[in-house]
Amino acid sequence: MNDSTRTHVTGTVLVITIDRPQARNAVNAEVAQGIAAAVDRLETDPALRVGVLTGADGTFCAGMDLKAAARGEQVTVPGKGFAGLTEARTAKPLVAAVEGHALGGGFELALACDLVVAAEGARFALPEVKRGLIAGGGGVVRLPKRIPHHLAMELLLTGRTVTAQRACDLGVVNRIAPDGQALPAALELAEEIAANAPLALAAVKRTVRQADGAPESEAFAAQATEIGALLRSADFAEGVRAFAERRAPEWSGR
């Protein structure tokens, strides 16, 4: 890691914290490299099952650091996109824990995660059109897939800021927590996910990606391949045994 990104492990969950509170956790080159390295650690460490992405000192992320970008700093990582995450194809689940503002690229980081927990006072916006740009870190691509077209277009074309409750009503946020409690609530959700079979979790993510925009027949064919592999896995056998023996399964990831 580096001075702008820190990590800690809770059980089988890796917590990734953007730590530039003096810049509202805006993304510069150091943050982008730090997130990319943390996600690589999550993906390669078999002891880690789920990641949680959050920001320090009550702010999630104010997006791209425009001053850093003007200095020529690279806020994208090859193959991983903006902030080392927005174009990464991760196998393990990621949960965003949002306090304060998730603006521009910050909102796009949340959209790059699989689930989003937000504090009551959190605010979301894609204001790029107000500066002559578009939300190129996944906002324009992902938001219309997550919420109804006309509602996505309203946010993208106006650049309007919405509350956590409105984001939840739209379906962008999974859970709302009291202010200051987004991370504990996200950890609770992450631990619930981490209790499940890691091979099955990865298969869910791959199947969802493969089915996105694919004809139904192709989607079911891809799903059948995933299920066939899972049926041959040691984890499936363990899941069946654990159910029969009325105990918690002990996953091996094989």
Q: Which residues are catalytic?
A: 108, 128
Separation CA 104–CA 36 (nearest Å): 19
Type and span of the H or E element at 75: none
3-state secondary structure 77-140: ECCCEECCCCCCCCCCCEEEEECCEEECHHHHHHHHCCEEEEECCCEEECHHHHHCCCCCCCHH
Q: Cα dihedral angle (156, 161, 164, 165), rounded to 10 degrees?
A: -90
The helix or strand, by DSSP H or E, that contains position 167, with its residue range, turns out to be helix 164-170
Secondary structure letter of residue 23 according to DSSP? G
